[in-house]
Structure 1
Amino acid sequence: MSGNIFYKYFDISKSLNFKSFFFVNKRGVLQSKFQKKNETSYNFPFKVSRTTSGNLPVYTKIRRHGTIVTTVVRHIYGDIKVFKDHLRNICEAPVREHIGYIEVKGLHTIKIKQWLQHIGF
């Protein structure tokens, strides 16, 4: 490497001051979506698994130039009928079951995400 012109004029070890770097002793969680579940989770007959990035699978679907707004919940396993009943009570809106997801009429993403985090998912 000493034959390369770049290394003759630029020495990395002199330009980096390792005292200026901030090293963390323990790894901490910065965002709440990546924290571990609470130990006091409720026993429900359904489960909502998170996505590979660690987020809850709750999405907003806007159709027909913004005139139809629905909220979609995916990755549901277990008793879907009980999950639909809970969503009806929380959102106070009609809930439809499709293959692979559940659709709630209206914009309820924040409300559903807060509820899922509260019950331990």
Structure 2
Amino acid sequence: MLRLFSRAAAAQAVKYPYFVPRNTNGNLPVYSDIRNAGTRLVVQVRNVDGNVNALADDLSQSLFKAGSAEARRVKIRTNHQHVVISGGRWKQDVVEWLKNKGF
């Protein structure tokens, strides 16, 4: 039997002030982009439901170990329903972090 859950039911089960729904292919909406002729590396988490700033704060505090070179380089900002992470090629790190959170 196929059960369909709404976003609200899934968000309630995770217990975070934000929810990252999967796209139509079943993947997390995490995208990488290279800009300025390869000098600017950007990772985006798109279409976040709920408190986008809480997701950005959680990412900045727990994505990398405090004091590491990656933690010093990472820059995280929000743009409406998106979280923009710049400073490196961290798409797989963000995807693994979201999966470990239960999304």
Give the paired residue count: 81
Alignment gaps of 5+ in structure 2: 1-12, 65-70
| CA shift for structure 1 position 102 | 1.2
| CA shift for structure 1 position 99 | 2.7
Alignment gaps of 5+ in structure 1: 1-40
Q: What is aligned with 2:98?
A: 116
Runs in 1 of length 4+ with deviation above 4 angstroms? Answer: none
Q: 2:32 matched to 1:50?
A: no
Give the TM-score normalised by the residue count of structure 2: 0.72
**Greater length-normalized contact order (CA 8 Å, ≥ 6 residues apart):** 2
Give the CA RMSD over aligned residues. 1.4
Q: 2:79 matched to 1:79?
A: no
Q: Is the 8 A contact 1:58 1:71 kept in 2?
A: yes
Q: Secondary structure of 1:82's partner?
A: helix
C-alpha separation between the residues in 2 aligned to 1:101 and 1:43? Answer: 20
Query: Which structure's CA Rg is the greater one?
Result: 1
Q: Secondary structure of 1:113's partner?
A: helix
Equivalent pairs: percent with the same residue?
A: 31
Q: Is the 8 A contact 1:45 1:82 kept in 2?
A: yes
Query: Is 97-106 or 45-54 further displaced after alignment?
Result: 97-106
